[in-house]
Amino acid sequence: MAKSSKPKPSKRLVSLDAYRGLVMLAMASGGLAFARVWDQSKEQVIEQASGQPWQGAWTQLWDVLAYQFGHVPWTGCSFWDLIQPSFMFMVGVSMPFSYSKRAAMGQSKLRMLCHAIVRSLMLVLLAIFLSSNWNGQTNFIFTNVLAQIGLGYTFVYLLWRWNLVVQLVAVAGILGGYWFYFFQYTIPAAELAQVKTVVTEQMELDADEEFNQFSGLPSHWNKHTNAAAGFDREYLSRFPRETEEWEGRTYWVNKGGYQTLNFIPSIVTMLFGVMAGRLIRGDRSDMQKLKWLFLSGGICFLTAMAVDTSIWPTKIPGCDWSFCPIVKRIWSPSWAVFSAGWTFWILGLLYWIIDVRRWKAWAFPLVVVGMNSIAMYCMAQLLKPWISKILQIHLQSVDTLLDPLTVRFFNLHTVSHDYLFSETFAFAPFWESLARVFVLWLICLWLYRRKIFLRI
C-alpha cells in the first residue's frame, strides 16, 4: 500500500455539490415528464406547431427530449441513463475528501472501516425500506441505486487508499472477471422455457419486446437470459415474497432487466470517482487537473467504443462488432467504462466553471440540493404523490377564495385545472412535475438555511 503522509484538511468541492444537485433534481423531477407527454399526447404536442415554419424543429425537439429523458430499451445511452452512474461516481469522488477529513480529525483506520461497513448496511436497509413503500410486505430487492452503492461501498473503501496502478489493476480484474462470468453462461433450455412462460403468460408482457428485440445479441448479454438474471432467479427466491411459488421459485425476472449483481461492475464506477477525487484533492495545478479529467473521459470513450461499435454516432462499413454491448440495465463492463467517460467530463466541466473560474452564484440552486442529496432522494421516493395531492387541494382552495377578485389572465383556476391537473391538456404532466420538484427544492432550501443535512 502506498505510504500515507500526514492528512491535510480538505476544502469543500462546490462543483461536486452542484453535480450532485443537478442529478438529484433531474431524478426527482422524473425528467419533467417529457417522455410521458410525448408518449401519451404526441398528436396534441405536434398540433401546437401545426402550420408554423418551426413545426419540424418542434417535433424534432420533442423527439430528442423524450429520448434523452427516458431509459433506452437495452443497448445505448441517454441522459437519463447517466443519472445512476453519476450518483455512484460522485460517491467515489467524495471518499478522498471525507476520509481524509476523518483522518485529520484523528480517527483510526479501524474506526473508518467500521464506519464504511455501517454505512453500507444502512444504505442497503434504506433501499429495501424505500422499495417496500406501499407494498404488503418487505420487498427484498437490491437494484435500487442506494442498495447498489451499499453493496459495493466497503469494497471501494478498501481500495481507495491504494495507488493508481493498484486501482487500475482492480478495475481490469473486476471488469474482465465479470465479462467472463457473463460470456461463459448459457441459460438452460428448460429454464428459458419457464422464463418465457412467466413473462408472457403471468406478467402478460410482449414476447417480441422482451426476447426478440435484441436477438442480435448472444443470450449471455440479453434480457432475462444473462448470468446475473440467473443468479437472481436462484437467490432472490429465498426471500419471502407475495407471489406464489411456481416451479420451485417465487422470483423470476426483473421487468426492466436490472440485476442485483450490477453492484460488482458498479464498484468500478465508484473507483473511477475515487481516482477523480484524489486527482482534484492533489497538488497538481487546476489546469493539470482539468487536463487529466478530460483525458480520462476521452480514454474511457475510446476504450468502450473500441469494444462495441453500436454506440458509434456514425456507422462505418466493415466496423460492426460488439465484444461486450453497452447496456446500462445489466451494467455491462463496457457500460461501466463508457458512462465513466461522461461522468469525468461533466465533473470536469463543472469543476472548471465553479471551482476554477469561480462562477458560483448560478449553481446555488443545485448546491442546496446537492448538500442534502439523501434527503432529496428519500423525499422524491416517498412524497411525490402526496405533494401532487396537496398542490391540487390548495390551488383549488385559493382559486375559490380569489375568484371574485381575479380576471381570466390571472385566474388560478386556469393554473390548477387547465394546466397542472388537467386530463386533456397535453403538457399537464410537465407542469405538475415542475411544480412538484419546486416544492421539494423549497424543502431542501429550508433545510439548507437551518444547516440541517441528512448524512449516512
Q: What's the confidence (pLDDT) of residue 330? A: 96
- Percent over 70 (pLDDT), the chain: 92
Question: Residue 454 in contact with residue 446, Cβ under 8 Å?
Answer: no
* Three-state DSSP class for residue 196: helix
What is the pLDDT confidence band of residue 415, given thresholds at 50, 70 and 90?
low
End position of a domain, from candidates 328, 362, 379:
379
Question: Residue 274 in contact with residue 96, Cβ under 8 Å?
Answer: yes
Q: Are residues 162 and 294 in the same domain?
A: yes
CA distance 299 to 294: 9
Q: Are residues 266 and 302 in the same domain?
A: yes
- The mean-pLDDT minimum among 289-293, 395-399, 445-449 falls in 395-399
Bridge partner list, 103: none
Q: What's the confidence (pLDDT) of residue 417? A: 59
The answer to whether residue 250 is domain-embedded is no
Mean pLDDT of the region 348-373: 96
Q: What's the confidence (pLDDT) of residue 400? A: 65
CA distance 339 to 84: 10
What confidence tens digit (pLDDT) does each residue in 42-72 have? 888 888 888 888 888 999 999 999 999 999 9
* Cβ neighbours around 208 below 10 Å, total: 10
Task: Specify the length of the chain in residues.
Answer: 456
Q: Is the per-residue pLDDT at 117 higher than 80?
A: yes
Q: Are residues 62 and 172 in the same domain?
A: yes
Q: What's the confidence (pLDDT) of residue 4? A: 46
Question: Residue 257 in contact with residue 330, Cβ under 8 Å?
Answer: yes
Mean residue pLDDT across the chain: 89
DSSP string, 359-422: --GGGHHHHHHHTTHHHHHHHHHHTHHHHHHHHHHHHHHHHHHHGGG--GGG-HHIIIIIIIS-
Q: Is the per-residue pLDDT at 211 higher than 90?
A: no
Q: Is the per-residue pLDDT at 162 higher than 80?
A: yes
Backbone angles phi, psi at 334, to 5 degrees: -65, -35
φ/ψ bin of 422: left (φ > 0), alpha (ψ from -120 to 50), beta (otherwise) = beta
Q: Are residues 375 and 396 in the same domain?
A: no
* Residue type at 286 in one-letter notation: D
CA distance 212 to 226: 14
CA distance 104 to 5: 11
* Three-state DSSP class for residue 246: strand
- The mean-pLDDT minimum among 4-18, 104-118, 392-406 falls in 392-406
Question: Residue 297 in contact with residue 341, Cβ under 8 Å?
Answer: yes
Cell numbers linked to 454 = 441528512
CA distance 327 to 179: 12
What is the pLDDT confidence band of residue 134, given thresholds at 50, 70 and 90?
confident
Q: Are residues 362 and 397 in the same domain?
A: no
The answer to whether residue 122 is domain-embedded is yes
Question: Residue 15 in contact with residue 350, Cβ under 8 Å?
Answer: yes
Question: Residue 42 in contact with residue 33, Cβ under 8 Å?
Answer: no
What confidence tens digit (pLDDT) does each residue in 261-308 have? 999 999 999 999 999 999 999 999 999 999 999 999 999 999 999 999
Q: Is the per-residue pLDDT at 210 higher than 60?
A: yes
Q: Are residues 61 and 84 in the same domain?
A: yes
Q: What's the confidence (pLDDT) of residue 1? A: 42
Q: What's the confidence (pLDDT) of residue 319? A: 84
CA distance 322 to 86: 24
The domain total for the chain is: 2
- The mean-pLDDT minimum among 1-5, 128-132, 198-202 falls in 1-5
Q: Are residues 140 and 286 in the same domain?
A: yes
Task: Give the domain extent around 427.
Answer: 383-449
For residue 158, which of 131, 120, 195 has the smallest C-alpha distance? Answer: 120
Q: What's the confidence (pLDDT) of residue 288? A: 97
* Residues 6+ away with beta carbon under 8 Å from 405: none
CA distance 402 to 306: 63
What is the pLDDT confidence band of residue 136, given thresholds at 50, 70 and 90?
confident
The answer to whether residue 168 is domain-embedded is yes
CA distance 429 to 402: 25
Q: Are residues 362 and 400 in the same domain?
A: no
What is the pLDDT confidence band of residue 245, given thresholds at 50, 70 and 90?
confident
What is the pLDDT confidence band of residue 205, given thresholds at 50, 70 and 90?
confident
What is the pLDDT confidence band of residue 409, given thresholds at 50, 70 and 90?
very low
The answer to whether residue 34 is domain-embedded is yes
What is the pLDDT confidence band of residue 321, given thresholds at 50, 70 and 90?
confident
Q: Are residues 115 and 98 in the same domain?
A: yes
End position of a domain, from candidates 339, 362, 379:
379
The answer to whether residue 232 is domain-embedded is no
Q: Name the one residue in this structure whose C-alpha cell is 415554419.
A: 53
* Residue type at 409 in one-letter notation: F
CA distance 151 to 144: 11
- The mean-pLDDT minimum among 68-82, 85-99, 332-346, 402-416 falls in 402-416
Cell numbers linked to 279 = 486527482
φ/ψ bin of 411: left (φ > 0), alpha (ψ from -120 to 50), beta (otherwise) = beta
CA distance 288 to 74: 37
The answer to whether residue 267 is domain-embedded is yes
454 vs 406 pLDDT, higher one = 454
Q: What's the confidence (pLDDT) of residue 315? A: 84
Q: Are residues 49 and 137 in the same domain?
A: yes
CA distance 225 to 436: 38
- Percent over 90 (pLDDT), the chain: 70
Cell numbers linked to 79 = 441522459
Q: Are residues 330 and 403 in the same domain?
A: no
Mean pLDDT of the region 169-195: 95
What confidence tens digit (pLDDT) does each residue in 68-84 have? 999 999 999 999 999 99
For residue 13, which of 244, 353, 407, 402 has the smallest C-alpha distance? Answer: 353
End position of a domain, from candidates 379, 395, 410:
379
Q: Are residues 424 and 375 in the same domain?
A: no
CA distance 141 to 134: 14
- The mean-pLDDT minimum among 285-294, 348-357, 395-404, 425-434 falls in 395-404
* Residues 6+ away with beta carbon under 8 Å from 29: 433, 434, 436, 437
The answer to whether residue 424 is domain-embedded is yes
The answer to whether residue 336 is domain-embedded is yes
Q: What's the confidence (pLDDT) of residue 399? A: 61
